[in-house]
């Protein structure tokens, strides 16, 4: 007689336990679907007014309009953007602290040996915004094509200076990747200020720079573009070949995207991903981003994550090959 009530009580207990377990999960899902319910912040690891900051503000404003809550830009520059990344890594994984993830994160993973976080592991990829094509430019007195440049560099080892915006930055690593793949010896000259005047005068002969930085000098023929660094030709310079047309597999493109702390619910990541993809594919936004030197590109979180991991591996090889140390 007592066995049946016991079984019923046990069944009721198990049912209540199951409900107790699923309720938080269900509540989290509903909460995530309602996201955002308050303002969010996008951490930018660079000063206000520079290119990544401008891109973040453009996307943040569009997200605010699309999702009905403010996406506030917070500049936390320093340590090659690592300070900003670490703030996001340490933030609650609730979708209210995001990172303007840039390609320097993939470089820094190897360049800085004492980081307290792992960029690939600790930053959840949310969405790509777009690629930042660079261009290989030379003083017009030097050479006219990439094959000519390679031949000249091989015939004059150590006699060509290539300028960069600083040791370990993208403009440096792109040149080192070129040296590695082309088998040439160029002398790296890092600058902490704008080096364009020295490039125009011929004091340095070649540089790998964002297209928008030198587009006016290219237009008036004061600098000669030999190739863009993207895997394919760039929209800003459609008539200029890609370096991959001469060095198979060369692809050294900057990028901008959005990341979040590891553990952020996927429903939030998915909502942000869909919103950002719709934003960057809008014709007016596409034109705005291209004018800023960003070629809009939509990706799934998984595709963006693969891009980050692949770039981290690629730049690790270049950093080790060139024995580059963070300054």
Helix, strand, coil percentages, rounded to 5, for the chain? 50, 20, 30
Residues 49 and 151 reside in one and the same domain: no
Q: Is residue 24 part of a domain?
A: no
Task: Point out the domain boundary residue: 223, 245, 267.
Answer: 245
In the predicted structure, residue 309 carries a pLDDT above the cut 50: yes
Residues 127 and 275 reside in one and the same domain: yes
Q: Is residue 308 part of a domain?
A: yes
Residues 179 and 121 reside in one and the same domain: no
Q: What average pLDDT does the segment 52-70 reach?
A: 97
Residues 138 and 173 reside in one and the same domain: yes
Per the CB < 8 A criterion, the answer to whether 51 and 100 are in contact is: no
Across the strands, what pairs with 208? 136
Residues 128 and 185 reside in one and the same domain: no
Give the CATH number for residue 80: 3.40.190.150
Confidence label for 33 from pLDDT (cuts 50, 70 and 90): confident
Query: Which residue range(s) make up the domain with 228?
Result: 134-245
What tokens appear for 171 in the block? 């403009």
Q: What are all long-range contacts of 151-160, with beta carbons under 8 Å and residues at least 24 apart?
A: 153/182, 153/184, 153/185, 153/186, 154/183, 154/184, 157/184, 157/185, 158/185, 158/187, 159/187, 160/184, 160/186, 160/187, 160/205, 160/206
Question: What single string gives the DSSP state of each residue in 137-196?
Answer: EE-TTS-SSHHHHHHHHHHSTT--EEEESSTTSHHHHHHHHHHHHHT---EEEE-SS--H
Tens of pLDDT along 123-159? 999 999 999 999 999 999 999 999 999 999 999 999 9
Q: Is residue 22 part of a domain?
A: no
Residues 147 and 236 reside in one and the same domain: yes
Per the CB < 8 A criterion, the answer to whether 127 and 258 are in contact is: yes
Q: Is residue 268 part of a domain?
A: yes
Q: What average pLDDT does the segment 183-208 reach?
A: 94
The pLDDT value given to residue 18:
52
CA-CA-CA-CA torsion sign (240, 130, 85, 111): negative
Q: Is residue 14 part of a domain?
A: no
Q: Is residue 2 part of a domain?
A: no
Other residues' Cβ atoms within 10 Å of the Cβ of residue 275: 18
Residues 273 and 181 reside in one and the same domain: no
The pLDDT value given to residue 156:
94
Closest CA to 208 of 315, 105, 133: 133
Task: Point out the domain boundary residue: 229, 245, 261.
Answer: 245
Give the CATH number for residue 168: 3.40.190.10
Task: Point out the domain boundary residue: 198, 227, 245.
Answer: 245
Residues 225 and 125 reside in one and the same domain: no
Residues 267 and 124 reside in one and the same domain: yes
Per the CB < 8 A criterion, the answer to whether 146 and 240 are in contact is: no
In the predicted structure, residue 23 carries a pLDDT above the cut 60: no
In the predicted structure, residue 56 carries a pLDDT above the cut 80: yes
Helix (H, G, I), strand (E, B) or coil at 326: coil
Q: Is residue 4 part of a domain?
A: no
In the predicted structure, residue 260 carries a pLDDT above the cut 50: yes
Tens of pLDDT along 159-187? 999 999 999 999 999 999 999 999 999 99
The pLDDT value given to residue 24:
52
The pLDDT value given to residue 326:
83
How many domains in the chain?
Answer: 2
The pLDDT value given to residue 80:
86
Residues 121 and 150 reside in one and the same domain: no
């Amino acid at each position: 007689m007592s066995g049946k009530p016991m079984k019923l009580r046990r069944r009721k207990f198990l049912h209540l336990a199951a409900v107790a377990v699923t309720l938080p999960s269900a509540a989290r899902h509903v909460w995530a679907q309602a996201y955002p319910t308050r303002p969010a912040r996008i951490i930018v690891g660079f000063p206000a007014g520079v290119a990544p900051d401008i891109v973040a503000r453009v996307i943040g404003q569009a997200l605010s309009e699309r999702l009905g809550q403010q996406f506030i830009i917070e500049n936390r520059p320093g340590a090659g953007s690592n300070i900003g990344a670490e703030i996001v890594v340490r933030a609650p994984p609730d979708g209210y602290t995001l990172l303007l993830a840039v390609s320097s994160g993939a470089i820094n993973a190897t360049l800085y040996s004492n980081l307290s976080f792992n960029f690939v592991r600790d930053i959840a990829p949310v969405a790509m915004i777009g690629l930042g094509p660079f261009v290989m430019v030379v003083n017009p007195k030097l050479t006219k094509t990439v094959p000519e440049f390679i031949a000249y560099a091989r015939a004059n080892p150590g006699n060509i200076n290539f300028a960069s915006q600083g040791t370990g930055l993208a403009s440096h690593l792109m040149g080192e990747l070129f040296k590695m793949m082309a088998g040439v010896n160029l002398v790296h000259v890092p600058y902490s200020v704008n080096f364009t005047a020295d490039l125009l005068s011929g004091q340095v002969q070649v540089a790998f720079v964002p297209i928008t930085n030198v587009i006016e000098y290219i237009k008036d023929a004061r600098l000669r573009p030999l190739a863009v660094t993207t895997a394919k030709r760039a929209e800003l310079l459609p008539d200029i070949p890609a370096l991959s047309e001469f060095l198979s597999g060369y692809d050294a493109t900057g990028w901008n995207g959005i990341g979040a702390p590891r553990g952020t619910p996927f429903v939030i990541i998915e909502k942000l991903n869909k919103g950002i993809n719709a934003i960057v594919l809008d014709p007016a936004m596409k034109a705005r981003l291209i004018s800023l030197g960003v070629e809009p590109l939509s990706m799934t979180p998984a595709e963006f994550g693969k891009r980050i991991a692949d770039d981290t591996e690629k730049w690790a090889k270049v950093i080790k090959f060139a024995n580059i140390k963070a300054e």
